[in-house]
Each structure stands twice: as structure tokens, then as C-alpha cells.
Structure 1
Amino acid sequence: MPLFSKAELQTLTDHSKSPCVSIYIPTHQMGAETQQDHIRLKNQLSEAEKMLAEQGTSSSDTADLLQPATDLINNQDFWQHQNSGLALFMSPGQFRHYTAPIEFEEQTFVSDQFHVKPLLPLLADDGQFYILAASQNKVGLYQATHNSVQAVDLGGTPLDLATALRYDDPEESLQGHSASRSSGKGGDGQIIFSGQGGGKDSENTDILRFFQVVADGVHNVLAGQQAPLVFMGVDFLFPLYKQANDYPHLMEEAVAYQPDQLSPEEIRDRAFKLVEPKFQTDRKTVSEQYGSLKNNNQATADLSMILDAAYNGQIDTLIVASNTHKWGSFDAESRQADFHSERKSNSRDLLDLAASKAMATDAKVYIVDRDEVPDKADAAATLRYPITASQKERV
């Protein structure tokens, strides 16, 4: 399964063939509840069938549309590789699914676009972070929130120094890896390890070059991400990794601890203590900016105006309430929003639409508890330039 990224979000939001079915369920990694996860999916697929029927989709088209997800119900290997949540997206010619470190509510949506808001915390500027737990014996990358964690596959990257060294053939282990580093390379651009002898300086050189390969793997996986990366390892390793790193959101401080014997949950808890103050500071700054910019007509909590601004690429920062829906429809041409007092067969969540459009134009997006949204609203935004007179007339 791919790591959910802005590129994946763009793929989902750009898809125009309807109907679009979005399903979210909580999943489990161990225990008796793992046996219930496939039943949850089966139940949500039944819900999708009903919703598609209400919209006039034929039973044969419905069966074809949902078949890829139906095939997963009895796939035991699939259910043994889950985390806290599973998101599935189906439309004519498209099926995508993502495992996530988020415990989703069981929900199904059928609309002319995919419903992506429950996944947005993975791309938002608050709440999600990555951890690189590193020693000479083992390297692991994790995607985490305060309450969840999952391992991230680094592809073919060597995950320990011994494997990377390969004393008998040092180049073999690095086939296909970084040719971007300027030091310690052979004539063909491959990184060459010293491998034997030379004392402490030679050992540090080997570790640095190993970390350069690891950093390449991290960079490839996290390209385009905005979330902070926390390094965890013994003291002397962090300066070496900082030299190798080219992910722009590496935290300046590290968790100085040997991670090899820690569980993923213990790694997450230690790392969260480091990133929590950053999240708190960022939230406070955003709230303060909203208050000052609102006085200059450059911030709003009016959802109609937020939607208009999102389609203009005007939003700088958007704060959206989690686990809240604002049902309705939006005409992108006229920029008119129609709000529904209750969910209808043709309703879509306008908070989801605002958040996905804002994120597509590189706005900073925060998914927070409703009581943390300014003005006690469902959403609030600061803008890159003030609201214009024509916008006020249109909205």
C-alpha cells in the first residue's frame, strides 16, 4: 500500500469519474478484534450498495465498482498487515486503499468526488510526525500521531550497517543507491565503505556513509511531506545523521536513546515529547494570526467565503474541525454554496471540499477538535490577500 502523500491526495481529488465511493473503518494489528475487521468492511460495502441504489446505480455496475474491495474481505494476508485504520476509494476505473495510523470512525460516502478529510491529518501541519529510530544494528522509519504509530517501508534501503558494508563486495549492497553524495564515492558514483580497520575515524566514516544511503531512502519516501522528523539514537549518531540528512523538516534536537529494544509505541511516546511543544507553539501562532488578520479583512470563518477562497488559491492557513460534517453542494462556476440541514443522497461534506482544495494549493491545514477552531466555527482561514469587494458580492 502506498504512503498517503500530497501526490496521492492530488490523484484522488483530480479523479472525475463518478460515482465515487469512500469507505473508512478502524483496524487492528493484534488481538481478537483483528477477526472483526473484515466484517466491518463487509458491513460498509453493504452500506455503499444501499447508497448507490438510492442514486440510481444499477446492481451490476455496483457489483463491478465494489468488487476490488469485496475481494479483500477473505484475503487473510491483507488483514495481517493493518494498522489503526483503513481507507478505501472506488470509482469506475479506480481503486486505491491506504492503511493509516488513525483510528477512523466506520463511515461510507458516495458522491461525485472522494471524501478525503479523515486522511488529511496525515498531511496536515499539526499532529503527525515521523521518527527515524537508528543504531548501527537497525534503522526503522515510523509514521506517528499522538495515539498511533506504523512502520514505513524504506524500499531497498539497507537497514543496518553490516548489511550495507558487505565486506566481500562493498558496492553490491549499494547498487541503485545514492549517486548524489560528493564524498566517499567510487568512480561509478556509488558510495564506497572502508569496511575494515582504521579505528574510530574509519568507523564514523562508515556510519556517515551508511546514513547517507538511509537519508536518501527517507528523502525518497517523504518527498513533499511537511511533518517533522525526529531522530532517535545514541548521542554520537545524531551529528552524523544531520550531516547526511536532506529532509528539510528534521527536528534540531534528537531523542538520545538506544531504540533497538523499544516497541514502536515506546519509540512514539519518547518522540512525541519532543514534537509536542512545537505543535502547541504552532497552534498558538495560528490562532494569534487569525485574530490580527481578521481585523484587516484577511481572515474569515464563513464557510461560503472559505470555499470561494479555496478555489482562488487564496487560503494561507485553514483550521478545520475534525469529526464534523457540513453537508451541501458547491457550484465551482458560480461559487455558490447550498447548505443542507441533513445529509441527502447528493450531499457532500463541504468541510472536506474546502480542506482538500486548500491543501492542493499548498495552504497550511490544521485538523483540530471543534472547540479549537477560532470563532467557535466549523472552519476558519487566514488568507494570502484580503477579501475583495467582488468576492463579498458573489458570496
Structure 2
Amino acid sequence: MKKEDIELLAGEHAAPCVSIYMPTHKTGEAVLKGHDRLLLKNLLKDVKRNLANQEYDQKTISALAAPIQELIDAKHDWNFRSEGLVLFISPDLFMTFQLPLKFSPQTIISSVFYLVPLMPFFVDGENFILLTLELNEVRLYKVGRYSIKEIYIEEKIPSRMEDQVGYDHEQKSLQFRSQQQAYGEAMFHGQGEGKEDRKDEILTFFRGIDRGLSSILSAENTPLILAGLDEQISIYKKANSYHNLFEKHLSCHPSDLSSDELQLGAWKLLESHFDQERNEKLEMFQRYQDTGRTSQQINEIVPMAIQGRVDTLFIQYDMDVWGTYDPTNNLLKISHEHQSPAVPLDNLMVVNTFLQGGKIYLMDKMEMPVPSSECCAIFRK
């Protein structure tokens, strides 16, 4: 899933918009007994019943249910690789996603798609760049708490040492290894001419990587973390010009690890860094209270989110407040009916904040800046 998918789902769609979230299983008894298929079947029953309660006609209900029923009946589509399945259905759209998020089973019918449970996949401020360094292969990834995606670098970054220092590198490397075998490990670890020449070639290679990286990351402010052998990482740091290079690195042969193993190892190094950033935002909320830069009132936060003026949004998991907002009169009305024209107000705040570059933290009640409030915000200047 990409940010563009959120933009598409958040756009104008014909009502009703049905959102279905459910957990899935990759292995075990639940798979063998078809628990996931049965769960979706029951969720579809809920959708049909709720659509009927909202007085949609049988033709509309059948049309919306058809692609879900096809998925239930398709045996080959029930081999899941992730922990969660989400479906979005409207008269003009049908999209499904498998994501590494363990969703609670729920169905939401509104005039908009309900996107709040997807936010942990996109938590702003919890993404970073991973550069894996090997002399014969260089890769670049965008990494998050639950995701890793390779970034296209062809023609921008030299992916092999030969591409940067010339094709005589392989012959030199063979000669160097032959000398190692003849004279022992002491030659590699000493200060011999062969080692210094090799270091210079590696440094030249890494400077080429840094130049290409600068063009790719020119608009980035996210941390850059390196993965590779300790000796080569120390050389790369001499070549680096990226302003947010993370001090710690992942010590490994990157090609020995799967992308999921790289993601997990790198995330463990950076997890405390992101916790610190969240704590700094919580402290900022307390510091800015009574200055007009913060709010814990939903009727103040909704219009500010729509206007793109929310810097940071703290919102409780499972906030269940519906209502309508009239931007012309700046009028917010809370509704006790979970149906059109009312919409989930947490969705209104979260989607607008996310798409306009704000940070979002989904939190438990006692973690909130003000535990008695379901939403809190820091506003931009």
C-alpha cells in the first residue's frame, strides 16, 4: 500500500462506501479449518444487514456484495502472507490489501471509506532509509515499522565497485586475495600498500554512492541507516554527506539476509529513536498549552485538520464519534446515528492530517496528552 492509495480512497466516491477490516492467519489450525473465510462470510452478512437497515435497495446491496462473495468462493485467494486483510467497496470501486497489521474485525458503512486503522502502516516520522553496502551490490530501501520497499537506483547510484573504479578492480581483487593466501592474514590487517590501495578504491566507490544518494534524498529528512561490514561502514562514513546519517549501523553481510530480516534488524536499532520523537511531541503539547497552539476539543481540531494546520494529531484507538462538518459555516454537529450524512470524525481528522503532512499518533487512553480527551492536536504556527 502507498500514500497514493490513501489519496485515491479518500477522494470522491459514490455512496455507500463499505470498509471491512479483519485479521488473517498464515499458518496453523485456523488456516486448515478455513476460519478466515468464515469470518469474512459473517462480516459480509453484517454489511448486508446494515445496508438494508439504511434502506439501500436489494439491487445495490447485491452489487456491493458480489465481489466480496467472489473472494469468499475463490479458494486460491486464501493463502495469506500478512496478518490483516482490508476491503474497500463502493459502486465505483473495489480494492483489497493484505497488510502486516493485526486488525480487529469490523465493518463501517459511510459516505467515505474508513482509513484510520491503516495509519500505523504510514506513521509519519517512523520511516527511514536503509542503504545496504557490499562491493558487488548496493541496494536502497524505504523502511517503516511494518514495511520495506526497495527504491529504484539504477543509473543514479553505482551498484557495484567495478562501475565506479573501473573493470580492472576484479583483477586487482583476485591478486589481493592471492597475496592474502600466500602471506597470511597479517598482510590484510597490516598497513601494506595493497590494503591502502584497496581502501582508496572503496572510498572512491562510496563517494560515488554518496553523490547519487544526494540527488535521490535531496528532499528527505528521514534517518539514513547503513547495513554492511564494520570496516566498510567506517570507510563509508568518511564519504557521507547526508545530514541525517544514523550513528548506529546494522553489522552484517546484507546479501545473507532477506528483506524482512533487514527490516526487522534496522527497525530494532531505530525504535528507541522514534519513541524519543513521540515523547518530544508529547512534551511540546504540554509546553504549548494555553498558547493557542494546542487543542483537545474535536470541534476545534476538525476544521484545523481540513485546513492543513495540524502539525501533530494524537488520537485514541477505537475513537467512535460520528458527525457532520459544514466548512461554509464552520459548523460541527455530533451525531448519534452511524449513517449518512454523518461520517466518522476520527477519519476526517486523521486523513486530512496525513495527506497534508502532519504527524499522527494512535494511542491508548492513558498515553494521551490529556487522558480524558479522545483527540489532541498541536497546530502549526
Shorter-chain TM-score: which interval?
Answer: 0.7 to 0.9
TM-score, normalised to structure 2, is 0.75
| 1:31 maps to 2:28 | yes
Deviates more, 1:315-324 or 1:259-268: 259-268
Equivalent-residue separation in structure 2 for 1:234 and 1:118 (angstroms): 38
| 1:97 maps to 2:92 | no
The number of equivalent residue pairs is 351
- Partner of 2:370, secondary structure, is helix
Deviates more, 1:114-123 or 1:321-330: 321-330
**8 Å CA contact retained: 2:313, 2:377:** yes
Equivalent-residue separation in structure 2 for 1:223 and 1:60 (angstroms): 52
Whichever residue aligns with residue 299 of structure 2, its letter is S
Instruction: Give how far 1:235 is off.
Output: 2.2
| 1:55 maps to 2:54 | yes
Post-superposition CA distance 1:278-335 (Å, at most 9, x none) = 1221122111211222221111010010001112221111111123222223233323
Whichever residue aligns with residue 305 of structure 2, its letter is A
Equivalent-residue separation in structure 2 for 1:14 and 1:88 (angstroms): 16
| 1:358 maps to 2:353 | yes
Post-superposition CA distance 1:150-195 (Å, at most 9, x none) = 664x49x7xxxxxxxxxxxxxxxxxxx6233589999xxx999838
2:322 corresponds to which residue?
327
| 1:382 maps to 2:372 | no
Within 5 Å, give how 1:205-216 maps onto structure 2. none
1:179 corresponds to which residue?
155
1:4 corresponds to which residue?
2
Aligned pair in 2 of structure 1 residues 39, 248: CA closer, same or farther (>3 Å)?
farther
Whichever residue aligns with residue 279 of structure 1, its letter is F
Equivalent-residue separation in structure 2 for 1:183 and 1:268 (angstroms): 20
Aligned CA RMSD, in angstroms, stands at 4.1
Aligned pair in 2 of structure 1 residues 28, 320: CA closer, same or farther (>3 Å)?
same
2:17 corresponds to which residue?
20
Equivalent-residue separation in structure 1 for 2:242 and 2:70 (angstroms): 38
Whichever residue aligns with residue 105 of structure 1, its letter is S
Instruction: Give how far 1:197 is off.
Output: 2.1
Whichever residue aligns with residue 354 of structure 2, its letter is M
Equivalent-residue separation in structure 2 for 1:4 and 1:110 (angstroms): 23
Equivalent-residue separation in structure 2 for 1:79 and 1:243 (angstroms): 49
Deviates more, 1:345-354 or 1:233-242: 233-242
Equivalent-residue separation in structure 1 for 2:158 and 2:355 (angstroms): 35
Aligned pair in 2 of structure 1 residues 239, 118: CA closer, same or farther (>3 Å)?
farther
- Partner of 1:374, secondary structure, is coil
Structure 1 or 2, whichever has the larger Rg, is 2
Instruction: Give how far 1:103 is off.
Output: 0.4
Equivalent-residue separation in structure 1 for 2:341 and 2:241 (angstroms): 45
Instruction: Give how far 1:224 is off.
Output: 9.5
Deviates more, 1:340-349 or 1:86-95: 340-349
Equivalent-residue separation in structure 2 for 1:244 and 1:107 (angstroms): 51
TM-score, normalised to structure 1, is 0.73
Instruction: Give how far 1:239 is off.
Output: 6.2
**8 Å CA contact retained: 1:27, 1:84:** yes
1:109 corresponds to which residue?
108
2:191 corresponds to which residue?
none
Post-superposition CA distance 1:355-394 (Å, at most 9, x none) = 1111122112222222222122111111123xxxxxxxxx
Aligned pair in 2 of structure 1 residues 203, 91: CA closer, same or farther (>3 Å)?
farther
* More helix per residue: 2
Post-superposition CA distance 1:82-130 (Å, at most 9, x none) = 3011111111221122221110000111100010000011222356667
Equivalent-residue separation in structure 2 for 1:332 and 1:272 (angstroms): 41
Q: Percent identity?
A: 25
**8 Å CA contact retained: 2:130, 2:225:** yes
**8 Å CA contact retained: 2:161, 2:205:** no
1:168 corresponds to which residue?
none
Equivalent-residue separation in structure 1 for 2:206 and 2:248 (angstroms): 18
Equivalent-residue separation in structure 2 for 1:371 and 1:260 (angstroms): 43
**8 Å CA contact retained: 1:41, 1:73:** yes
Aligned pair in 2 of structure 1 residues 351, 249: CA closer, same or farther (>3 Å)?
farther
Equivalent-residue separation in structure 2 for 1:49 and 1:277 (angstroms): 45
Equivalent-residue separation in structure 1 for 2:283 and 2:294 (angstroms): 11
**8 Å CA contact retained: 2:203, 2:239:** no
1:369 corresponds to which residue?
364
**8 Å CA contact retained: 2:148, 2:260:** no
Post-superposition CA distance 1:235-291 (Å, at most 9, x none) = 245468889999997644322234666677765554343222212211221112112
2:334 corresponds to which residue?
339
1:197 corresponds to which residue?
171
**8 Å CA contact retained: 1:54, 1:345:** no
Deviates more, 1:334-343 or 1:105-114: 334-343
Equivalent-residue separation in structure 2 for 1:43 and 1:73 (angstroms): 11
Structure 2 gap segments, 5+ residues each: 174-197
Equivalent-residue separation in structure 2 for 1:292 and 1:52 (angstroms): 46
Whichever residue aligns with residue 70 of structure 2, its letter is D
**8 Å CA contact retained: 1:47, 1:108:** yes
Equivalent-residue separation in structure 2 for 1:93 and 1:210 (angstroms): 48
Equivalent-residue separation in structure 2 for 1:76 and 1:201 (angstroms): 56
| 1:305 maps to 2:303 | no
Equivalent-residue separation in structure 2 for 1:191 and 1:75 (angstroms): 50
Equivalent-residue separation in structure 1 for 2:140 and 2:295 (angstroms): 42
